[in-house]
Structure 1
Amino acid sequence: MQHLSGIDRARAALEGGARLPAGTLSPAVAESWLRCRDLGLDPRATPQGGVIAFADVNRRREASSALRRLALAEMQLLHSQIAGSNFMIALGDADGVVLDTISDHRFSDSAAGRSIIPGSIWNESDRGTNALGLAALRREPVAVYGREHYFSCHGHLSCMAAPILDSGGRVLGLLDASCSEEARQQHTHVLVRMAASQIENGMIFQERTESFIFAFHPRVEYLDTLSAGLLAVSRDGEVLSLNRPANSLLAGLSTANGVHFDALFEAGFDMAMDGLLNGGVIRIRDRAGSGVFMVCRQIGHRGSIETPRRAGAAPAVLASPGAPDFVCEDHELRRATAELAEAVALRMPVHVTGETGTGKELMARHVHALSGRKGEFVAVNCGAVPEALFIAEIFGHERGAFTNARTEGAPGLARTADGGTLFLDEVADIPPSAQTALLRFLDSMELRAVGGHKTHKVDVQIVSATNRNLEELVASRAFRADLFYRLNAYTVRLPPLRSRSDFALVVQHLMDKIAPGIAITDAAIARLSLRNWPGNIRELHSVLQRALVRRHLEFVDEDSFADQEKSAEDCCEECRDHPLNRHKCREIRSAFRAAGDNVSKTARMLGLSRTTVYKHAR
């Protein structure tokens, strides 16, 4: 077996019931394997991962509401820092029960992602060696990579977890980042630890609103970092809370509950306060003789809630050249736009079709960006221009060309777009009398203003759009066939939102635009995905705005949309006309989607029979 790697030899010994070879595993993982073996767990079996009922999840969320408020904000930042890395960020409580997840849609759609859902239990005794369970046991950050997991079926999963501790060292919760690759993501492990530390610091600020909070460190430049110690001190000088760095920096001194500031630092509390309350940084020695710098970060006031400044911010995500300013990961949409740049380079007119609200103007602006043209993007709603004025609006008119004409004349939208893009929105509504003139213009790119004699040649990229079926209009002779064939030289069909495979990314993209930094959970996205969305992205935008206005917390979860669920589209056919049944049906369908469309998991989560779940979720 000498040709085998260390992990190969370790797994062979584990699955063969032999003694584990020394030095092949980290001590934490090796000890966990032995505990799992002692419990009689078969490493080649599939663990029967438990999932608690949604009602229990909600009770646990309520019990951890303060933690959850801070954690979801950090999870959103962490997600933005590792976006595109095929990761899921999960928050667990002290028992290893997952409360919330925020993920990359590719991971959430995988088998591994579908096993990490709200309500899933990730303790060591049930799930074997895993980062969440091990971090809870050891009360320290842990990484479990690939086949270091006890159960071989988890060998494609890599997890990094850090406990969130209170000032007494008790586990309040767990923060985990999981990916479907075996690569050792050291930088992600560091980010998870930093996020957990940020949450711990935030808990001190949140729970000690009436206290003074001091930051200290031996080096003054570290006072604004996560390495700084934090002390929450009462107005009488009693130390109420310390973070982990504070405990480390004061090692050897008693930091038990109720210790006084004077027992930790040589300068008296009153003398230290004189310098700290003046807003300055003071130099002070602890009782072990070590010098530190100290600054006041909060002057306690009843009802005030402040959080520490972040040690770092999410890096800006730069779009690659030619990338659209919208989500385009859906396979149908990517296929439709695959050759768009080449079509634009050949100056082909582009026709965009799709239901209302699918983003036709965004696609038109993307075409303009791809063209690299320096001229203007000029949009005209063809259905909003009176028939008698349509030709004059597009091609311009000379002074006094017709009744009510502008006294100074007008150049027209086509000339305004010279060197740029002319976007003909709602092109199906072009008046029949103007279709011939528009066709002539498209053939020659020459125009003459109404009442004028001079011909102008222009260079414009033509983009048209409609939500109507032009082929049917051509068949009924309501639209000229030759104009239709001229406009649709290259057609982009935008899929409706309800059928898009990148729905989760669309939601996250809109959230980033509407309210940057506000977290939205995977469970919330799953609930939204159950809707029919007749208004498509425009409707989704409004729904998210209403949820943000009405929310009572600093994040958006599935409960944020409860009061907006009025349509029968969220129910099965049998429940649509029965108000008493609709709420139950929506809950079952939401749970079904959150469980990865798994009937058995949904039944376990809700305590229902599989037949009942299938009846509502089919």
Structure 2
Amino acid sequence: MQILSGMDRARNALERGDRLPGGTLPVPIAESWQRCRDLGLDPRLQPRGEVVPFAAVTRRRQKMEGLRRLALAEMQVLYAQIAGSNLMIALADASGMVLDTISDQAFTESVAGRSILPGSLWDEARRGTNALGLASDSSQPVGVFGREHYFTCHAHLSCMAAPILDSHGQVLGLLDASCANEARQQHTHALVRMAAAQIENGLIFQECADNFILAFHPRAEYLDTLSAGLLALSRDGVVTALNRPGSALLSGLPTGAGVSFDTLFEMPFARALDGLLRGGVFPIRDAAGSQVLMVCRQIAPGLTVRNLRREPQAMQHGRAGPMPEFVCADETLKAAMADIGQAVAMGMPVHLTGETGTGKELMARHIHAVSGRRGEFVAVNCGALAEQLFVAEIFGHEQGAFTNARAEGSIGLARQADAGTLFLDEVADVPLSAQTALLRFLDAMEVRPVGGLKIHKVDVQIISATNRDLEAMVAERSFRADLLYRLNGLVLHLPPLAARTDFVLVVKHLLQELAPGMAITDAAIARLAQREWPGNIRELRSALQRLLMRQRGPFVDETCFVDGSEDVGDACPACRDRGLARRVCQEIRTTYRSCRNVTHTARALGLSRTTIYKHL
């Protein structure tokens, strides 16, 4: 006598119309079968294969453009990561309408491949029990394997789907991996959940580009994994988004949008922000008394470290002073900048020194802003002016004053900067013959155009800058000593990038200027920090532009490093040349280095230990 398995007994009862035997099916599957029965669906027939017009699919894609862009990148990762053939990755909207698929030729040409296509509807009422329909209804990840599908014609498939949720728990879309049942792999379901979580995190960075984004977890080694909570906050500390791990970690506390940081944590937002912006991992207790570790993943664009620490108090009193348009959290740099306000109030010249690319013009523009002058900021590249034209360009000239002079004459850059700031960049390159005229101007603040008789009085804040040693040039008699002493009223040295303690903040600030809302992983920043940066901030900006060219998802990470010091990074040989698949491999290896334990790594990433071993 043949002994039937639980699934055999359940299928026989389903197809005969008998009562389903208890305990033979997972509860969600049994409940779905019963709902399908109640709708009058016959499991032995073909389901209603409705497909909406392509114009409707296009409209839906446009409405979900931001999510779709992130999802397509993750679908590529999934497709590359799940080995084997007869495989399809699909993205659907919240109702179960398929928007995009990525599949191999075998699946595309199969019966299932011809039915899972853009515009096809996979809700339970039409297609019976299936992963997309169940994930949509339950808002939970779900797998439907083989004969668990309601319709017999789908018994050869295994489908694993996960919902993509917004920060309020509403389903925005669905991610599905389908394959032939015999090709099903144990870790596929975990990879689908990881991909959905990655998309959800990416949406927070994408939709909260003008917010602070903080990552937190009770254990430091999980801060760079998908287990970490992500909390988006407005500039005044109001919660705008929280991912699923974050909701779980703050379970029992009021975490809805509109709740303030101060309600969720024991420390006030202003004080916590001050600690977070110093860099590194910051310990803090939530309102229930549990300690978590927190790091800042994104600074609200348009703000700088200097004013971020003061802004909560400044907003309370309705005051706002001039704010640097660059990061200046380095203690050496902050100390050097402390006397700027007093110096410009006294009309004292400011001389900037530092290597090429350290941001001397940005600092000069900030000094102009601090001065409160209503006139223009006029920058002069002294090294770009020919010796015979230097005096005429600075002080102006009358009509026909010299060969090739402008027919209408020129008032000169010094008069153009009247009531403002004249910035003499590369001042070491002022021709020796012109240094006397420049010295006379600095002493009297009077301008007489070349070829003219009338003297014009001006009021100008002088800022000069160079990357050369002017004292050595004075000793060599290539620069006048009295001119140096007239320029260096306040000397402000800009440290090289490699010596700055706020390197992480500089990277994030530049990245926000280049690609607002883009995030960068700590591992990528660590790779950048290993370099010497002889070109300083200018070189760093160029390097970030190259990384952005290679970036394909919502993050800049180690996979963007592909040549020289920007190599492929840490990945196992099997994944190193597989494009986006490297990221999953690197996530596994990075997490393992933190945990130093295969079981803990598998638990943190939601993968099997076999998969972890494979990539190690």
So what's the TM-score if we normalise by structure 2?
Answer: 0.50
So what's the TM-score if we normalise by structure 1?
Answer: 0.50
